[in-house]
Structure formats: structure tokens, C-alpha cells
Chain A
């Protein structure tokens, strides 16, 4: 069964600290993996996207890694800010085309305290 599991479910950190969010998937075949940030009451916004051949991708203070062999991805946030408080969603595509499906994780709820 194609699934996307994220951990932890929720996380609280202090402003300025780093954190790492995890995503494990069983989706096959695999086309690409994306991380989205979803602020409360808003739609998700894409942070990074990685294909099978990529093992790291950065977007400012966000760095995503992908190990396609172990089917694991992580999102590392450096020097966290209050505005980083949001839900971070891992999404895996099985074909990345018109016929492809997207599999969504439940997200990690990150709270950054001052």
C-alpha cells in the first residue's frame, strides 16, 4: 500500500534553533518528492521538490534531503523564526505526469516559541 508517514506529529522549538522533520514513504513507482509549508487557515506552499536523482535541495533556510534507496526524506530548518510556525507536509508523486497520483503525509505541526 502506497503511504507517506511523517514524524514527529508535532514539534516545539525555540526561536533560532534548528530542527529536522522526517518523511518515510512506500510509494512505488517513485517520481518526485515535495515538501510544502501550510500556515494555519491557508493553502500549502511548495518549498522544495526532488526527483529520484537528487539527494539534496535547498530553499533559503530550508534544506531537504532524499534517500531513494531507503525511501526517506528529511527537511532541515536552520535558525528557526517565529514565521516558521506551520504544518510541513511531505508529498510523493508516483509518476509526476498527467496520470500520476500524489500521496500526502499528515504533516508535522511545528511551533516556534520566542
Chain B
């Protein structure tokens, strides 16, 4: 298991605001991921990182950006939120076992009005 923390858990904001979703882990894992999930739909990978100063875009195009300055933190930023960004955002890590099992954080439910 892995301890993954996401803040805030819920966020309601107005259009045009800049927001940062926080994701942190305490076990020093290199691989971290951001997924976006709409209700009743599958998870879509939007960003991932294999270590400090490493960030890549995922399968689903996203207007968000990420940074990985420290191993423990992998924040996601939206410069100007829009209603289309309303979704659940899940952070995950892999522990590097043979199957690269992913462990997910509790998620952030974002609503943009």
C-alpha cells in the first residue's frame, strides 16, 4: 500500500480562476500519474512523471499542466478554469513491483461554475 494525499477533496470555483490541485506521497516513489474521470466513465490518463523534472502528457489532451520539482509532490494546475474542466481528478503512483500496480489517492472533485 502507499499513502497518497490529495487536496482539496472538493472544490467549487468560478470560471476563469486559476487552481492548483495538490498530490503528495511520502514513500519516495518515482512514478506518479494524474487521471481524469467523469461520472460513469473510464479513467483517462492526462499526465505522468517518472521522477523529478520529468513530466509527460497522457492519452487524453488536457489544458492542465503539471510539475515535479520534488519527488513527494506532483501538483496539477489549471490557469483558467472552465465548466468543461468539471470532473474528478485522481492522482496515482506505482510502486515498481513486477506488475506496476497503481495505487490511487482519494481524488479531488472539481466543479467549475
Q: Interface size of A by Cβ–Cβ distance < 8 Å?
A: 26
Q: Interface size of B by Cβ–Cβ distance < 8 Å?
A: 24
B100 and A98 contact, CB distance less than 8 A: yes
Instruction: Find chain A residues with CB under 8 A from B31 CB.
Output: 98
A32-B101 Cα distance, complex, nearest whole Å: 10
A43 CB contact (under 8 Å) in B42, B98, B107: B107
Q: Could you tell me the distance in whole angstroms from the C-beta of B12 to the nearest C-beta in chain A?
A: 14
> 1/0 per residue B99-113: CB within 8 Å of A?
111111111010000
A6 nearest in chain B by CB position = B42
Q: Could you tell me the distance in whole angstroms from the C-beta of B11 to the nearest C-beta in chain A?
A: 13
Q: Which residues of A are interface residues toward B (Cβ below 8 A)?
A: 4, 9, 31-32, 34, 41-46, 49, 51, 89, 93, 96-98, 100-102, 104-107, 109
